[in-house]
Structure 1
Amino acid sequence: MSFTSIRELVGLAETRGLRICDLMIEVESEQSGLPRAEILAHMHSQFDVMEAAVRKGTSEPVRSRTGLTGGDAFRVHQRAQEETGFLGSRPHRAMAYALAVSEVNAAMGRIVATPTAGSAGILPGVLMSVLDEGRYSRNDVVSALFTAAALGLVIANAASISGAAGGCQAEVGSATAMAAGALVELAGGTPIQVGNAVGLALKNSLGLVCDPVAGLVELPCIVRNGLHAVTALAAADMALAGVPSIIPPDEVISAMNSIGHALPDELRETGIGGLAGTPTGQSLKELIFASNPNAPVVAGTTPCRTEPSVPGVTVGSSGA
C-alpha cells in the first residue's frame, strides 16, 4: 500500500484538496475494491469495539488474568468525575479511557489493535473522550480513525510499529502520533498541522524501551497508554496553535527507526531488561510463573484477543 512518508501524504492531501481521512478512504477503496459505504461501515464496527472496551473498563474494575494489574481505569475515571484533578476533565477522561482499553486487553477482552495490542488504549482513549464531550459527531470521530490509519501506515512503512523491532517508542510512540494527528484533523487543522502533530508527539517518545514485566502486556504498558493519551492531546493542541515540528516528522520517524535498531535486545520486548529486570520485576515474574507453572507465556507474546487493525495499519508485535 502507498504512503511511505508524511511529506508524501500531506502533499497528496493538499494537491487534491482532500482531508487525509478522505484520501485514506479512497486508497482503501481502490486497493480493496470495496465501496466507500462498506469501508465506513467496517470502521464504525471497529469503533464500536473500542467503545465497548472503554465502557467496560471504566464502569467496573477489570482485573488481568494474572492479577498483576487492573482497576486503575475505574479509579482514575471516578476521580475524573469529581473534577478535582490537576489535568482537567478531558485529559483526565482520555487517560482513564486509555487505561480501560489496555486493562480489557490484559484481561483477554476484545480490543482493536491501533496499531498494536500493547498500544491499543491511546487512540480509543482520546477519540472517545472528545466524542463524550459532545463537540464532534460519531461520524466525524470515525472518520478521524482513517486519518490515524494513514499516519500509522506511514510509520509502519518507513520504520516499524513493533516493540520487538523498535522498542515501545515504535508502539506507544506511534499510537500517540496517530492519535495526535487524528485529533488535529478532527478539529479542522490543515494537513501540515497534522504532520506537525505527528512530529511533536513522536519525538516525545524517542528512546522509550519495551520492557514488559514477565513478558506480559501489563507492566508498564497499561500506564504508558494512559499517560501517552494525555501527550497526544497536548501535541494536538500545540500543532493547532501553530507550533511546528522543527525536525520534520519524516526525520523524526527515521530517528525513531535508528534508535530502535540501536536498542539492545534486552530492551526490545524480551522481558529481560529495564523495568522487567528490576528486583521487583523479577520477583513478580517468579510469582506469576510459580502460580501458573504450565502457562504457555513467552516473553513478547500477548494474552489477548484482538480485532483486525484499522484499514491500512498492519498489526505488529503487541508488547509495549
Structure 2
Amino acid sequence: MEYLTIQELVETAEKKKMSIGAVVLEDQAVQMEQSKEKLLSQMEENLRVMEKAVESGMDPELRSTSGLTGGDAWKMMQYAQMGGITGSFMTKAMARALAVSEYNAAMGKIVAAPTAGSCGIMPGCLVTMMEEHQIPREKIIEGMFTAAGFGIVIAKRASIAGAQGGCQAECGSAAAMTAAALTEIMGGTPKQAADACAMAIKNQLGLVCDPVAGLVEIPCIKRNVGGIMIAFSAADMALAGMESKIPVDEVIDAMKEVGDSMPCAMKETAQGGLANTPTAKQMKEQVFGKKEV
C-alpha cells in the first residue's frame, strides 16, 4: 500500500475481512521485510514505554527542566479518586495524558505518537482502556497499528508537525489516530474507524501552535487532555453509528489547507497566540532571562 488515502485502508480491510490494524501489520511486514512477530514485539515495546511514562509522570515532585510545569498529573489522579464531573474513567485518562506530557517536559523517555507535543493523547486513552476496561494487550497493540496506518496517511496528505500545520497537526492528528484505534479496539468497522478519525480532526481544525517561551509545555500539556476527550467522544460517536458527512480524506485535505493558511506566528514560532501574552513573556524571561537591548 502507498498510504495515500484512508479510503484505501478501509477498502483493503473490508476486502480482506480484517481490521485496519491487522492490514497495516501485514503490509508493514512485507514492506520492511520483517516478520509480523518482530513488528508486534516492537509495538509491544512502544506500549511498555508509554506505560512507564504514565507511571513516572505521576511523581508529585516531577518538574520540567524549565520549572514551569510538573505535578499536575498527580493532582488529577488524586481528584479522580473522587470521581470528578466526568467520572473516574475520564479523569484517570486525563491524569495519564498529563503524566506522559509532563514526563516528556522533564526529559523523560516517551513515544512520539505522532509527536512529542502530543505524546500524552494515545497513552492516556489506551493505557486507561487496559487499566479500567481490562482490554487485552493484544487488542491494544493491534489498535496501535491502526493508529500508525492513519498517521502515515495524515503525514503524507497534510502534516503532523506544529511548525508546518499548527497544533491541529499535532494534537489533532494524535486524537484522530487514537479515535480510529479506539473504534477498532471496541469492535467498530474499518468505516467507523475512518469516521472517528474525521470527526476528531474536524473538532480541532484551526488549532494553533503557540508554545510559551518556545517550550513544549504551556499550553501543550493541557491540550493533550483536550485531545483525549476528543478521541473518546469521536470514537463513541462512530460506534453509535454516526458518520462524518465530509469524507475523512477530504477532512485531512482541509486540515492541510487550514495549516497552510495559518500565519507564521501561529506555527510553533512562539510569536503569537498565548505565547505573546504578557504573562507568557514574563515566563520566558523567568526561564531565559531578559533580552539585552
TM-score band w.r.t. shorter chain: over 0.9
Measured after TM superposition, the shift of residue 134 of structure 1 is 3.7
- Listed one character per residue, the Cα deviations across residues 288-314 of structure 1 (whole Å, up to 9, x for unaligned) are 101999xxxxxxxxxxxxxxxxxxxxx
| Number of positions where the alignment pairs a residue of Structure 1 with one of Structure 2 | 292
Q: In the alignment, residue 71 of structure 1 is paired with which amino acid?
A: G
Give, in whole Å, the separation in 1 of the partners of 2:2 and 2:94: 32
User: What residue number does 1:308 align with?
Assistant: none
Q: 2:171, 2:223 within 8 Å by CA — same for their partners in 1?
A: yes
TM-score, L = length of structure 2:
0.97
Q: In the alignment, residue 30 of structure 2 is paired with which amino acid?
A: E
Q: 2:6, 2:150 within 8 Å by CA — same for their partners in 1?
A: yes
User: What residue number does 2:286 align with?
Assistant: 287
Identity rate, percent: 51
**Is it true that 1:127 corresponds to 2:126 in the alignment?**
yes
User: What residue number does 1:36 align with?
Assistant: 36
Measured after TM superposition, the shift of residue 117 of structure 1 is 0.5
- Secondary structure at the residue paired with 2:110? strand
Measured after TM superposition, the shift of residue 247 of structure 1 is 1.1
Measured after TM superposition, the shift of residue 187 of structure 1 is 0.2
Structure 1 residues 74 and 35, CA, compared in 2 at 3 Å: closer, same or farther? same
1:101-250 equivalences in 2 (<5 Å):
101-250=100-249
Measured after TM superposition, the shift of residue 61 of structure 1 is 3.8
User: What residue number does 2:46 align with?
Assistant: 46
Give, in whole Å, the separation in 1 of the partners of 2:60 and 2:128: 18
Q: In the alignment, residue 185 of structure 1 is paired with which amino acid?
A: E
Measured after TM superposition, the shift of residue 135 of structure 1 is 3.1
Give, in whole Å, the separation in 1 of the partners of 2:56 and 2:248: 35
Measured after TM superposition, the shift of residue 58 of structure 1 is 2.2
Q: 2:82, 2:88 within 8 Å by CA — same for their partners in 1?
A: no
Measured after TM superposition, the shift of residue 59 of structure 1 is 4.4
Give, in whole Å, the separation in 2 of the partners of 1:118 and 1:263: 19
Measured after TM superposition, the shift of residue 2 of structure 1 is 1.8
Q: In the alignment, residue 34 of structure 2 is paired with which amino acid?
A: L
Give, in whole Å, the separation in 2 of the partners of 1:62 and 1:138: 28
Q: 2:213, 2:284 within 8 Å by CA — same for their partners in 1?
A: yes
Q: In the alignment, residue 245 of structure 1 is paired with which amino acid?
A: S
**Structure with the higher helix share, 1 or 2:** 2
Long gaps (5+) in structure 2: none
- Listed one character per residue, the Cα deviations across residues 190-245 of structure 1 (whole Å, up to 9, x for unaligned) are 00000000011010000000000010000000000012111111111011001111
Q: 1:93, 1:129 within 8 Å by CA — same for their partners in 2?
A: yes
Q: CA RMSD in A?
A: 1.4
Long gaps (5+) in structure 1: 294-320
TM-score, L = length of structure 1:
0.89
Give, in whole Å, the separation in 2 of the partners of 1:132 and 1:94: 10
Q: In the alignment, residue 95 of structure 1 is paired with which amino acid?
A: M
Q: 2:275, 2:281 within 8 Å by CA — same for their partners in 1?
A: yes
